[in-house]
Structure 1
Amino acid sequence: MGRVVLLWVLLCATAQASEMMDRLNALEKDPAAREQSYAAAQERILLCSKCHGEDGNSKRDYIPNLAGQNPQYLFDAFEKYVTGQRTDFVMNQAAKLLTLDERVNIAFYFSQQQVHPRPATDPLDAALVEQGAQRFGTVCAACHGAAALGHDGIPRIAGQPGQYLNHALQRYRDKDPSRAGSPMLGVAAALSDADIAALTAYLSQLQP
């Protein structure tokens, strides 16, 4: 029975993702609908803004920026928190409070915001940043793009807070159960602590 329920949940999530893409495509073609979506999201992001900021720029170094993020990726993340495919106590609860329309509107809203990378607390090591740039080119650029902006369901990682990046890469590398099923598990498996430190230094300072 558990497998049947899981399959049903995944099928529902797939159907909702398809509907979400149809709605996003419709927004791209209708300026009036985009304005309505943006305004509706502004009324609903109070909970999100407490951690991620009203403009999607994180208020804490361990919380990701949502500004400039790909809307499909944001929506997919919402769905995974709703179904339990991804686990985080706050996000699992928050995502379930949002309707499909609200999740689409919020994903669109944050995708339209400008990213403001957090200033480094310590001077960046130029050699470490260069090492990170080289490692990014060989390991990450194929999926996330040369400028780390991502696309469609691939997240933007440029300008993310350093502590968040470091922790996320470690969780993927160490096969954290809360990230089960992610293609990042295989990619991150080959990363050393030095690689993670270098990638964090490089990506956190990337400007839009």
Structure 2
Amino acid sequence: MGAILAVMAGLPVGAQSLQERVPTCFECHGEKGQSQLPEVPSLGAQPALYTLVELVMFRDKLRLTEPMNQQTVGLSDGDLRALSEMIAKLPAPEPTSDTPDPARMDRGRALAQANRCNFCHQSNYQGVENVPRLAGQREDYLLKSLRAYKDNTRRGYDAQMSEVVYAMKDDDLVDLAYFLARLK
């Protein structure tokens, strides 16, 4: 809504301060950082360094994803750092509330173990430093991200994720996303 009001007032989004933009963040990413919108990630409890790197990549157009590229225009490194630290303090997202299918959970768990997801993302998949939290993330967003890493349309600041998912079948990506979305 904040971005819409800025455009209606004739102001570029980049003319807004960080404080003016924060409500817009929650319009998409959800109150307290838990997204309710399809393919929009929950941000709550993401490690500050990971979020900072992603925001810099959006701002500097190293990662092309609208509306994020536009929302970060004009924000300083200090603004991005403050936003990242605020996001890290939000509560972790609640996992999907449906009753998990035990067979799918077992397949997803086995895939996570076989691909050593816990090596970078930690044993509880809560992320650390520049590695994102996966536990409780939106299933559709996880699947979209895994597919994008696999086909190289999403790149991080290194090729590690693309290398990990390269040999995985789409059914594997589906089961892995299912598993991770249901973790606390």
In structure 2, relative to structure 1, the CA distance for the partners of 1:192 and 1:202 (3 Å cut) is same
| Aligned ranges 1:2-21 → 2 under 5 Å | none
Q: Aligned-pair distance for 1:171?
A: 0.8
Q: Separation in 2 of the partners of 1:89 and 1:61?
A: 15
| Aligned ranges 1:178-193 → 2 under 5 Å | 178-179=154-155, 181-193=158-170
Q: Aligned-pair distance for 1:126?
A: 1.1
State the Cα deviation string for residues 54-89 of structure 1 (Å, max 9, x = none): 311112131111100000000000111122211102
* Letter aligned with residue 190 of structure 1: A
Q: Separation in 1 of the partners of 2:99 and 2:155?
A: 32
Count of aligned pairs? 166
Q: Aligned-pair distance for 1:44?
A: 4.2
Given candidates 113, 118, 121, the residue that maps to 1:137 is 113
Q: Separation in 1 of the partners of 2:114 and 2:48?
A: 26
Q: Separation in 1 of the partners of 2:168 and 2:94?
A: 24
Partner residue in 1 for 2:45: 68
* Letter aligned with residue 106 of structure 2: E
Q: Separation in 1 of the partners of 2:159 and 2:58?
A: 13
Stretches of structure 1 that go unaligned for 5 or more consecutive residues are: 1-39
Q: Separation in 1 of the partners of 2:81 and 2:35?
A: 20
Q: Separation in 2 of the partners of 1:45 and 1:54?
A: 11
RMSD between aligned residues = 1.9
Q: Aligned-pair distance for 1:123?
A: 4.4
Q: Separation in 1 of the partners of 2:178 and 2:34?
A: 18
Q: Separation in 2 of the partners of 1:131 and 1:189?
A: 18
Q: Separation in 2 of the partners of 1:72 and 1:57?
A: 19
Contact conserved, 1:56 with 1:113, CA < 8 A, in 2? yes
Q: Separation in 2 of the partners of 1:97 and 1:118?
A: 34
Q: Aligned-pair distance for 1:52?
A: 0.6
Partner residue in 2 for 1:171: 148
- Structure with more of its chain in helix, by fraction: 1
In structure 2, relative to structure 1, the CA distance for the partners of 1:97 and 1:51 (3 Å cut) is farther
Q: Separation in 1 of the partners of 2:106 and 2:77?
A: 42
TM-score, length of structure 2 as denominator length: 0.82
Secondary structure (helix, strand or coil) at the match of 1:64 reads: coil
Tell whether 2:60 aligns with 1:83.
yes
Q: Separation in 2 of the partners of 1:201 and 1:184?
A: 18
Q: Which moved more, 1:107-116 or 1:72-81?
A: 107-116
Partner residue in 2 for 1:124: 100
Q: Aligned-pair distance for 1:94?
A: 0.8
* Letter aligned with residue 57 of structure 1: Q
Contact conserved, 2:125 with 2:133, CA < 8 A, in 1? yes
* Letter aligned with residue 102 of structure 2: A
In structure 2, relative to structure 1, the CA distance for the partners of 1:63 and 1:44 (3 Å cut) is same
Contact conserved, 1:45 with 1:54, CA < 8 A, in 2? no
In structure 2, relative to structure 1, the CA distance for the partners of 1:96 and 1:107 (3 Å cut) is same
State the Cα deviation string for residues 101-160 of structure 1 (Å, max 9, x = none): 22111111110111233535x643210111101111121111111111111101111110
